[in-house]
């Protein structure tokens, strides 16, 4: 074996070729995505469009003059957070927050139960911080596809990311939240905005960097919002005297009409067939953390069955769905070249203690191929927006566990976006410091700033 053990098996390289996207393929994806976005923005094609490009009614970015105490709720994955945020002079920012779990039975139970749970958590938090008698402006981050009818009215279009609560689709989630809170009769709040985590990410970054025009999430799900000219947002029925409005692309659904079939693999089809929403969110399923570990597992299983890995000896744990966590991908790729400490630890947890160094090199290669594809798909989509916005310099605010914890995601994106943007356009990527919390408070604060002017 000797030195050769660090080389990846050529058969494995061959099998992984279909998971590697060329720049030509990425440019074709960009063309298709742009077409989808334009269809989503236009009045005549919106209803039939896959990428919905919902109008958010957020038209003002933070300018640093926001002051006061604000609350935020953040629901968008398996956890749910309540936050209390104070904004003061000189960018002073104070935040207290608490994470509450959402049990599985609530994620797929009746909607009323979900909102009662949120109201319980909110009440407990406000008591704990002795603000139960104050009526504070609240920003509600609700990270599921919604049609907005105003800053404080959002109708759920569909559940994603493992949620499936009956009785909520088509309903105004702000109203459901307010009802649940008023039933309890303990605390009062003033919901001044509903937004999703992409908007929160953009707002929290724009507070620091005024050229932030895109908010991106690469976490449990994947989605982005961006600043669009009002004249291009044909469905916007708000204040058209202001030049811009934020658009929530809901690009996770891109490809649901077959637009990505030319790059999807048997592994993607397997993920989709076994998901709780088959045929939906196909772009998201190729990128996000909810699926990345499982994609790697499916590739490893196939190669084990073909006797290219582990001498053909798998394990019950490896062969069981959902057992290869996305965090394993980041851990395995964090090992220094030629060393496999994290990789061995993961494989041992999966009952694969018999793996050789050669197996470890191969497993790491599979992880790299899957995570790099995700980064390149996200990059192509971001480059599409940068090219559409056409400002000479744009900051992209990013949040989400995959971007935050994967050791190479940032660099992969910087390199690939640079290849795909129109020459001459400058861009930068910044990690959002707690977008969905701080951002929600900032949307509430900017809305309050607006009230103050009109009052």
Q: What is the pLDDT of residues 395-450, one digit of tens each?
A: 999 999 999 999 999 999 999 999 999 999 999 999 997 767 788 888 888 887 76
Task: List the catalytic residues.
Answer: 161, 197
The count of domains in the chain is: 1
pLDDT value, residue 66: 85
pLDDT value, residue 173: 96
The pair of three-digit structure tokens given for residue 360, joined into one six-digit string: 């470890």
Backbone angles phi, psi at 397, to 5 degrees: -90, 130
- Written as tens digits, the pLDDT of the chain (455 aa) is 344 556 788 999 999 999 999 999 999 999 999 999 999 999 999 999 999 999 999 999 988 788 899 999 999 777 889 999 998 887 788 899 999 999 999 999 999 999 999 999 999 999 999 998 998 999 999 989 899 999 999 999 999 888 999 999 999 999 999 999 999 888 888 899 999 989 999 999 998 899 999 999 999 999 999 999 999 999 999 999 999 999 999 999 999 999 999 999 999 999 999 998 999 999 999 999 999 999 999 999 999 999 999 999 999 999 999 999 999 999 999 999 989 999 999 999 999 999 999 999 999 999 999 999 999 999 999 999 999 999 999 999 999 999 999 999 999 999 999 999 999 999 999 999 776 778 888 888 888 776 544 33
Q: How would you classify the pairing of strands 153-156 and 136-142?
A: unpaired
* Contact call for residues 299 and 370 (beta carbons, < 8 A): yes
Domain contains 417:
no
Domain contains 79:
yes
Domain contains 78:
yes
Domain contains 26:
no
Going by C-alpha positions, the residue among 310, 316, 326 that lies closest to residue 271 is: 326
* Contact call for residues 380 and 26 (beta carbons, < 8 A): yes
Which structural domain range is residue 160 located in? Answer: 55-208+434-446
pTM of the model: 0.91
Domain contains 74:
yes
Domain contains 279:
no
CATH code of the domain in which 167 resides: 3.30.420.40
Going by C-alpha positions, the residue among 203, 228, 198 that lies closest to residue 63 is: 203
Quote the CA–CA distance of 201 and 116 in Å, as a whole number.
27
């Amino acid at each position: 074996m000797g030195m050769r053990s660090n080389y990846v098996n050529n058969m494995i390289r061959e099998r992984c070729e279909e998971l590697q996207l060329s720049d030509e393929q990425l440019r074709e994806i960009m063309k298709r995505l742009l077409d989808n976005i334009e269809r989503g923005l236009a009045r005549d094609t919106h209803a039939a469009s896959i990428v919905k490009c919902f109008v958010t009614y957020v038209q003002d970015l933070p300018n640093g003059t926001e002051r006061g105490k604000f609350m935020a709720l953040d629901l968008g994955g398996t956890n749910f957070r309540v936050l209390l945020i104070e904004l003061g002079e000189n960018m002073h920012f104070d935040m207290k927050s608490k994470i509450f779990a959402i049990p599985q039975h609530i994620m797929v139970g009746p909607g009323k139960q979900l909102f009662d749970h949120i109201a319980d958590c909110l009440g407990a938090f406000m008591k704990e911080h002795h603000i139960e008698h104050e009526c504070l402006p609240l920003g509600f981050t609700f990270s599921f596809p919604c049609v907005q009818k105003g800053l404080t009215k959002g109708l759920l279009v569909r559940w994603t990311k493992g949620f499936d609560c009956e009785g909520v689709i088509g309903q105004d989630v702000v109203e459901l939240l307010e009802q649940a809170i008023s039933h309890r009769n303990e605390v009062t709040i003033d919901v001044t905005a509903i937004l999703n985590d992409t908007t929160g990410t953009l707002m929290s970054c724009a507070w620091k960097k005024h050229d932030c025009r895109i908010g991106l999430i690469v976490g449990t799900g994947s989605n982005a919002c961006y600043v669009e000219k009002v004249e291009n947002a044909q469905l916007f029925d708000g204040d058209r005297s202001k030049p811009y409005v934020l658009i929530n692309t809901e690009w996770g659904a891109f490809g649901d009409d077959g637009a990505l079939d030319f790059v999807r693999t048997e592994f993607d089809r397997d993920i989709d067939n076994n998901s709780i929403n088959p045929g939906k969110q196909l772009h998201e399923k190729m990128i996000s953390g909810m699926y990345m570990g499982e994609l790697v597992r499916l590739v490893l299983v196939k190669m084990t069955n073909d006797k290219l890995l582990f001498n053909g000896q798998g394990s019950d744990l490896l062969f069981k769905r959902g057992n290869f966590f996305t965090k394993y991908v980041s851990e395995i790729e964090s090992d220094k070249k030629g060393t496999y400490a994290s990789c061995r630890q993961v494989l041992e947890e999966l009952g694969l203690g018999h793996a050789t160094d050669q197996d470890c090199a191969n497993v790491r290669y599979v992880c790299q191929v899957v995570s790099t594809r995700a980064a390149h798909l996200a990059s192509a989509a971001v480059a599409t927006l940068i090219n559409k916005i056409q400002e000479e310099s744009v900051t992209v605010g990013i949040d989400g566990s995959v971007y935050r914890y994967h050791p190479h995601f940032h660099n992969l994106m910087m390199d690939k976006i640079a290849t795909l943007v129109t020459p001459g356009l400058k861009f930068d990527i910044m990690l959002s410091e707690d977008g969905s919390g701080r951002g929600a408070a900032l949307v509430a604060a900017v809305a309050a700033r607006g009230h103050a002017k009109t009052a």
